[in-house]
C-alpha cells in the first residue's frame, strides 16, 4: 500500500491574507444575521464547531480517504460513538479480543446496560468470527494491530464475512495514524482514531475522530454526537490540526527508531521475544506487508524477568524511557502490560515465558535509547544474580 503523504493546508480566509492554520474561535454564541439564519444556518452554535474544527475534519478525511469525519473529545469517546451509533437494544456487537481495554469495557459494561450484547472473538481465527455471526450481530470492532499484543487480523476476509451478513465493521486505526493504513479503502465501514496519540503528537491535548464514506453511517454518527452533546473544543482541535502538518515526518522517524530497536532486541539475551508486525518473526507479518505501508513507534517485547522485582529493577534503571500511559508523543515511553491483560482463554502471557513490556520509541536519538535499555538490562541481570 502507498503511504499517505498528502495533507491539505488551511483553506479558510481571504486570498489576500490567509494564515497557515485557521484562527482559533473561542465562542459558544454565534451571532447570526436574521431569523431565518437562526434556525437554518450551521453551525448556529459554537458546540457544533467553527473554522478550526471544520479544517481538522477536512484534513482527517484527506488523511483517511474518507468523505465524512466527526470529532470527539478523546479516542475512547470516538470508539464509543462508532459502536453505539450502529446498534440498539437487542443487538449484538462482536469485538476483537485484542482491542484497547477501555473500548472493551465500554462494550461489555455500558452497552450491556443499554441492552446490547457484546461477544469477543479471536482476532486471528476467521472461523471463530464466522461461528459468532448471527442475525443479531450489527457491528464488528477491530483494532490493527491489537492493543498491547499487536495481532493483525485478516481485515479483507473479515469485511467480506461481515458484509455478507449485513454487519458494519469498525477499525481503531490509531497505530497507523492514517499514514500507514487506510481501512476505509479495504472495505471497513468506520475508521476511528485517538487523535491524542500521533495526530496531536506532543502529549498535551486530547481528541478523537470517527470517519466513514457511507452517508447513512455518517448520519447516525452525527445524530448520536448531537444527542449526547459530544464535541471537541477549539484549542484541542487546533493542536490536532497543527499536528497533522508534521505527522508524516514524525511517523517516519518513530518507525525507523522502533524497527532499529526491535531488531536489536530480537538478539538480546534479556529478551525472549519481540512482537512487532514489521519483523519477519511476527506471525502476522504477511498480513502487515499486504495491508500496511509502514509501521509506527509502538511495539512490545517479552522480558526475561521471572519475578516482579526483576521488572522493577529494569524499569528503575531507565532514564530516557519514562513510565506512563498513552503514547505517540516525542518522548519514549515504556509500561509493563501483564496487569492489563484479560484475554478470552488463559492469560495471554502464559503463552510466553517472561513479562510483556510495551515500548514507544520517541524522537530521541536511537543510539541513546538503545543505551538506556541496555542500562535497564544490566540492572535486571544484577537483580537476578543477587
C-alpha 50/C-alpha 37 separation (Å) is: 16
- Render 2-39 in DSSP notation, one character per residue: ------PPP--SBTTB--SSPPP---SB---SSHHHHH
Q: Is 356 exposed, middle or buried, given 0-12, 13-18 or 19+ CB atoms closer than 10 A? A: buried
Per the residue annotation, which of 47, 120, 250, 355 is the catalytic one? Answer: 47
> Is residue 79 within 8 Å of 73, Cβ to Cβ?
no
C-alpha 362/C-alpha 342 separation (Å) is: 27
Per the residue annotation, which of 168, 197, 358, 383 is the catalytic one? Answer: 197
- For residue 386 the three cell numbers come to 543477587
C-alpha 174/C-alpha 191 separation (Å) is: 9
100 is annotated as an active-site residue: yes
Residues 7, 210, 339, CA angle at the centre, nearest 5°? 110
C-beta atoms surrounding 292 within 10 Å: 22
Per the residue annotation, which of 97, 122, 154, 172 is the catalytic one? Answer: 172
C-alpha 274/C-alpha 356 separation (Å) is: 10
Per the residue annotation, which of 92, 97, 100, 124 is the catalytic one? Answer: 100
227 is annotated as an active-site residue: no
Which residue numbers are catalytic? 47, 100, 172, 197
Amino acid at each position: 500500500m502507498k503511504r499517505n503523504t498528502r495533507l491539505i493546508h488551511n483553506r479558510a480566509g481571504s486570498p489576500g491574507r490567509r494564515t497557515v492554520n485557521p484562527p482559533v474561535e473561542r465562542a459558544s454564541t454565534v451571532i447570526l444575521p436574521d431569523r431565518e439564519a437562526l434556525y437554518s444556518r450551521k453551525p448556529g452554535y459554537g458546540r457544533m464547531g467553527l473554522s478550526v474544527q471544520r479544517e481538522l475534519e477536512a484534513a482527517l478525511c484527506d488523511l483517511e480517504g474518507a468523505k465524512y469525519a466527526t470529532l470527539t473529545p478523546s479516542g475512547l469517546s470516538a470508539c464509543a460513538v462508532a459502536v453505539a451509533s450502529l446498534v440498539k437494544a437487542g443487538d449484538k456487537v462482536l469485538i476483537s479480543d485484542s482491542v484497547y481495554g477501555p473500548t472493551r469495557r465500554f462494550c461489555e459494561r455500558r452497552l450491556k446496560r443499554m441492552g446490547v450484547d457484546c461477544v469477543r472473538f479471536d482476532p486471528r481465527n476467521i472461523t471463530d468470527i464466522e461461528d459468532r455471526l448471527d442475525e443479531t450481530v450489527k457491528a464488528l470492532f477491530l483494532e490493527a494491530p491489537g492493543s498491547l499484543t499487536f495481532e493483525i487480523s485478516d481485515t479483507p476476509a473479515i469485511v467480506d464475512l461481515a458484509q455478507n451478513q449485513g454487519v458494519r465493521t469498525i477499525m481503531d486505526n490509531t497505530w497507523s495514524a492514517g499514514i500507514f493504513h487506510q481501512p476505509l479503502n479495504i472495505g471497513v465501514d468506520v475508521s476511528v482514531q485517538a487523535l491524542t496519540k500521533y495526530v496531536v503528537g506532543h502529549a498535551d491535548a486530547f481528541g478523537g475522530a470517527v470517519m466513514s464514506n457511507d452517508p447513512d453511517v455518517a448520519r447516525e454518527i452525527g445524530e448520536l454526537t448531537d444527542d449526547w452533546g459530544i464535541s471537541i473544543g477549539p484549542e484541542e482541535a487546533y493542536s490536532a490540526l497543527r499536528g497533522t502538518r508534521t505527522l508524516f515526518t514524525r511517523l517516519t522517524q518513530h518507525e525507523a527508531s522502533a524497527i532499529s530497536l526491535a531488531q536489536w532486541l530480537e538478539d538480546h539475551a534479556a529478551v525472549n521475544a519481540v512482537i512487532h508486525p514489521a519483523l519477519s518473526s511476527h506471525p502476522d507479518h504477511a498480513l502487515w506487508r499486504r495491508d500496511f505501508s509502514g509501521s509506527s513507534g509502538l511495539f512490545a517485547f517479552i522480558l526475561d524477568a521471572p519475578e516482579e522485582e526483576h521488572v522493577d529493577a529494569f524499569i528503575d534503571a531507565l532514564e530516557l524511557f519514562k513510565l506512563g500511559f498513552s503514547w505517540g508523543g516525542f518522548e519514549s515511553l515504556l509500561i509493563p502490560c501483564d496487569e492489563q491483560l484479560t484475554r478470552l482463554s488463559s492469560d495471554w502471557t502464559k503463552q510466553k515465558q517472561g513479562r510483556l513490556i510495551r515500548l514507544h520509541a520517541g524522537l530521541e536519538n536511537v543510539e541513546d535509547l538503545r543505551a538506556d535499555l541496555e542500562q535497564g538490562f544490566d540492572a535486571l541481570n544484577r537483580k537476578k544474580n543477587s
